[in-house]
Amino acid sequence: MDYRIKEQAGFSPKIGELVSMLDYTRAVTLADVAGLSIEQLDYLAEGDSNSIGALLMHMAAIEFVHQVITFENRDLTAQELETWLVPLELGDKARSEIRNRPLDDYVAELKKIRDKTLSLLGNVDDSWLYEEGQYDNGATYNKYYLWFHVVEDETSHRGQIRILKRMLEKQK
């Protein structure tokens, strides 16, 4: 694993640094879930926790949504929302619907979304990161912030995954 944030071949300088951050974040996530069984991926702690599998799907959903917002400058279509709403919102529906899937399924979904992200990022330059938009509440953001949020969200949920794994270990 490379522990340096640096430019990446095929990308403008700042985009390459962002790709470096995305790659590192994903490599650590994949290392943390490597070898987990379906039972471990579906484990639910007491209360309103989410499963590791649901958290992995949430990571894919967040990245997909940010692709749509930043590259297509639009919100999700009704069909896209139907596909991604459960992993986006998590909660009760995710606990019941995102289950019984092997790790390879989650990894394949994450890879499919990431491959598209990398392809799209290869077609923009650093100035694209600073293009601004506005949330419905009037708050201004730039595309750099939105992709920082993708990294931040995955890192946060990876922390939840680590807690769930420790809980599973204690049950042994």
Total-model pTM: 0.95
**Per-residue tokens: 147:** 């992709």
pLDDT at 122: 98
pLDDT at 46: 81
Residue 136 lies in a domain: yes
Number of domains the chain is built from: 1
Residue 38 has pLDDT above 90, yes or no: yes
Residue 3 lies in a domain: no
pLDDT in tens, 87-105: 999 999 999 999 999 999 9
Region at 5 (left for phi over 0; alpha for psi -120 to 50; beta for the rest): beta
**Cα 44 to Cα 71: distance, rounded to the nearest angstrom:** 35
pLDDT in tens, 138-170: 999 999 999 999 999 999 999 999 999 999 998
pLDDT at 168: 93
CATH number at residue 126: 1.20.120.450
Residue 5 lies in a domain: no
pLDDT at 90: 96
pLDDT in tens, 102-136: 999 999 999 999 999 999 999 999 999 999 999 88
Alpha helices in 34-142 (DSSP H): 38-42, 52-72, 78-89, 92-97, 103-121, 126-129
Residue 2 lies in a domain: no
Domain extent at residue 149: 13-171
Residue 105 lies in a domain: yes
pLDDT at 1: 76
pLDDT at 6: 93
Share of the chain above pLDDT 70, in %: 100
β-partners of residue 140 are 134
pLDDT at 171: 83
pLDDT at 13: 98
Residue 1 lies in a domain: no
The mean predicted confidence, pLDDT, of the chain is: 96
Share of the chain above pLDDT 90, in %: 92
